[in-house]
A and B are shown apart, each in its own frame.
Chain A
Amino acid sequence: MINLELPQKLLTVQKMSHQVASGVFRPISRKYDLIEHCDTPEELKPIAQMMAAMRPSRAKKEARPDDGSTVNGANLSGIVGAEELCWGDVGLLLSIPGSGLGNAAIMAVGTPEQKEEFGKLYCAMAITEPGAGSDSAAVSTTARLEGDEWVLNGEKIYCTAGQRCDAIVVWATLDKSKGKAAIKSFIVPQGAPGMSLVRVEDKMGLRISDTAALSFDECRIPKGNILGSAEVADTEEARKKAFGGVMQTFDNTRPQVAAMALGVARAALEITRELLEKEGVKADYSKSLYNSSAIEAELYRMEADLDAARLMTYKAAWMADNGLPNSKDASMCKAKAGRMGNQVTLKCVELCGELGYSERFLLEKLARDSKIIDIFEGTQQIQQLIVARNLLGLSSRELK
């Protein structure tokens, strides 16, 4: 039955996440934006413990009812939680130990031994290189097997949590001439010989989240640290399958990133409404758009945009929970939410004038934080490409 409201179970997730966001994140949001470079904030350590305690139950697959009725599972509840936490502070969410993308990869494809060894650690993911961003198939960091060790050479940039993590899942190629199929990921523990931290980036937003550049110079790790098989698929079909599997994980993570934009935009909109209400601006849905003041009309537009993005994100996650292919919907919600987040937060700065631009309130910070959400996990343009190829039935060779 068509219903776009959340069930009680998810409202509870929402409420609990909101408590963390308002009780822990918000009060320290500005503080860590100004500190920027530091170790994991003390305030986040209990949150990490709490999340680690919750994780096994979250990871447990919910049984799908046999009667074909719908499921609201881990994907949708992840969206609901992420929006709330990012309403608190998106940078702090990304700084919680143990919540790295590397953890997700290990839990998804790691062997039982790897899960045992690294599952409880804080694992980052290093894909991007100076010469390979959205085009992740162009990775040129190399890995070669020497006896019982993999030897890695290359450079990685924009690695979230690359400084604070315990280990990093590094994408590298076994043979660049073999393209996507030869790209594998390797678990590199912090302190592995030959790996060094080049720098931690100074960024416009998301400042508390450490973004590292790393260098691998004859970096040696045990043979067992490869994620998945070391074989290079040699048929076109096997190649597609191997890389497709990697890309498929994005179908689950893109809605999660879209949820970040929802939280950031909602935070900005709420602060803006409060500031405007003090000045007598009341957008109470009583007048049509063109009989409203310009400022009220903007609030309506932004709210509609935010809600549209949220419903699209819910839909993509709901599809994943129910085993429906959601590649197009995952990219649609990421594209929509990413640009909505940018537009809404910047418009909020503008509507509140000096107060919006000032560091006295969080509006300017939210606007800075939101920008990256339309870039990482696939830029706006990459999402559009995926959506367009899907709609038009075109290959990546036809629609470049």
Chain B
Amino acid sequence: MVTSQDLPFDLSLSEEQRIGRESMRRYAERQLRAIARSADEAGAAPEGFYAGTMELGLSLMPIPEAFGGAGMPRSPVSNVLNAEDLGHGDISLALGTLAPLSFINALLDFGDEAQQELFLPQLAQEHFVPATVALMEPRATFDPGNLHTRAVRDGDGYLITGEKSMVILGASAELILVVAELDGEGPAAFVVPAGSEGLSAKAESYMGLRAVEVATLTLNQVRVGAAHRLMQFDLERLVDLGRIGTAALAVGCCQAVLDYCIPYVKERKAFGEPIAWRQSVAFMVADIAIELEGMRLLVLRAASRAEQGLPFHREAHLARVYAAEKAMQIGTNGVQLFGGAGFVRDYPLEMWYRNLRAIGVLDGAALV
């Protein structure tokens, strides 16, 4: 493992990252942004949307060659760049697109060789295989460090009981990583296959994230074998990688707000001149750019520490704190800059505002 002390401070992308970003941005523009509003209204991604995402190769990339993938090294930084670019298209659709990757990343980090062999080939397919991580629980003051979902030993396996909420693709996922408090042992993670007895899913509706299937899972004495428990599980790492990822989605969406506001305030006239000529408007635009830059750099720092094997809990925590607050501020200012037009559903501002509200709420999704 490289230690960071040997590297210069550097914000330049590798050639590979630069090319990757270009195509990811193009894809997000054409395949996510273009349908974001209609999917938000319909409450679901259109038929064939997820199949289309297979061209990005997101799931295949990190899966070892032996298990059918491309065997690319695990790179939280590249994942963050992807999340940002997909988030620029649409946060909801990006969350759905990235859900299987969250599962895969968790399995790579916390599963042993045998478990990777057991589960990863199922995801290394040419068609989209939905998979996800189930961490959150439906109650106010939810804290990942205090889980109510319980697992108990049952012979050579485990019985899991509880409720998991805000599970991205929760109803259609073929494999779900369920995080539960294991009696006497602390938090543990189990791979629960779809169709397990005692597992049921109910789709939920939220103020935002309407374009992606988000479900509450009920687990009633769901039994999994011993091989389904990821023994190297690290709850803090899982939570932190998810927070970095969702913050990266927010960076992308906030960039979309900025990009969308700039031409509008230059065109929109009031009192005989563009509203951009007024400091009260121009300074709001400047502030969006300033806070967005802070968000982006905090997210990148946390990801680059994770990639280098340095401790990154503090950095992930601060990126989350900052992103959650600034994303809301930027979302609401985007609506404000558009005035009434920001409030009507002809424009994307109100949708972005609703989606950005999720950043401070969501845990366990978009693991980078």
Residues of A whose CB lies within 8 Å of any CB of B are: 1-8, 10-11, 69-72, 76, 285-291, 300-301, 303-305, 307-309, 311-312, 314-315, 318, 329, 332, 335-336, 381, 384-385, 387-389, 391-394, 398-400
Contacts and interface: CB of A to CB of B under 8 A. Distances in A.
Contact of B9 (A307, A314, A393): A314
A315 B17 CA distance: 19
Interface stretch (B66-74, B88-96, B316-324, B338-346): B316-324
Contacts of A6: 9
A304 B298 contact: yes
Contacts of B308: 3, 5
Given A311-B301, A332-B293, 6 more contacts: A301-B325, A304-B318, A312-B294, A315-B297, A336-B290, A391-B262
B8 A391 contact: no
Interface residues of B, number: 57
A4 B4 CA distance: 9
B282 A392 contact: yes
Contact of A308 (B4, B276, B295): B295
B6 interface: yes
Nearest to B292: A332
Interface string B311-342: 00111011111101100000000000000000
Interface in B3-44: 4-14, 17
Contact of B14 (A1, A4, A290): A1
B54 interface: no
A387 B295 CA distance: 17
B56 interface: no
Contact of A70 (B10, B277, B291): B10
The 4 closest A-B CB pairs, nearest first, are A308-B294, A311-B297, A388-B282, A5-B4
Contact of B145 (A7, A71, A286, A308): A286
Given A70-B10, A307-B298, A312-B293, A2 B304 contact: yes
Nearest to A288: B143
Contacts of A305: 294, 322
7 contacts: A2-B303, A304-B322, A308-B293, A311-B297, A335-B290, A388-B285, A400-B277
Nearest to B318: A304
A4 B308 CA distance: 11
A7 B5 contact: yes
Contacts of A399: 276-277, 279, 282
Contacts of B314: 285
Contacts of B77: 2
Interface of B, helix, strand, loop or mixed by DSSP = helix
Contacts of A304: 298, 318-319, 321-322
Nearest to A8: B5
Point out which of B144, B300, B308, B317 has the most chain A C-beta atoms below 10 A from its C-beta: B317
Contacts of A398: 274, 276-277
B8 A70 contact: yes
Nearest to B325: A301
Interface in B209-223: none
Contacts of A381: 279, 283
Given A2-B13, A7-B7, A300 B301 contact: no
Interface in B109-126: none
A400 B310 CA distance: 46
A4 B304 contact: yes
Contacts of B14: 1
A311 B298 contact: yes
B287 interface: yes
Given A8-B6, A384-B287, A289 B322 contact: no
B250 to A, nearest CB: 14
Nearest to A80: B9
A45 to B, nearest CB: 33
B143 A388 contact: no
A286 B316 CA distance: 11
B4 A388 contact: no
B305 interface: yes
Contact of B298 (A72, A76, A290, A308): A308
B10 A1 contact: yes
Q: Report which residue of A291, A332, A388, A393 has the largest number of chain B beta carbons within 10 angstroms of its beta carbon.
A: A388
A13 to B, nearest CB: 12
A336 B295 CA distance: 12
Contacts of B127: none
A2 B145 contact: no
Contacts of A2: 10-13, 17, 77, 300, 303-304
A392 B276 contact: yes
B289 interface: yes
B314 to A, nearest CB: 5
Given A286-B145, A304-B318, A307-B318, A4 B301 contact: yes
B268 interface: no
A300 B321 contact: yes
Contacts of B291: 308, 336
A76 B294 contact: no
B286 interface: yes
Contacts of B320: 288
Contacts of B276: 392, 394, 398-399
B295 A3 contact: no
Nearest to B81: A2
B289 A289 contact: no
Contacts of B298: 304, 307-308, 311
Nearest to A335: B290
A304, A388, A389 pick with most chain B CB within 10 angstroms: A304
B265 interface: yes
Nearest to B282: A388
A312 B262 CA distance: 22
A196 B276 CA distance: 45
Nearest to A68: B12
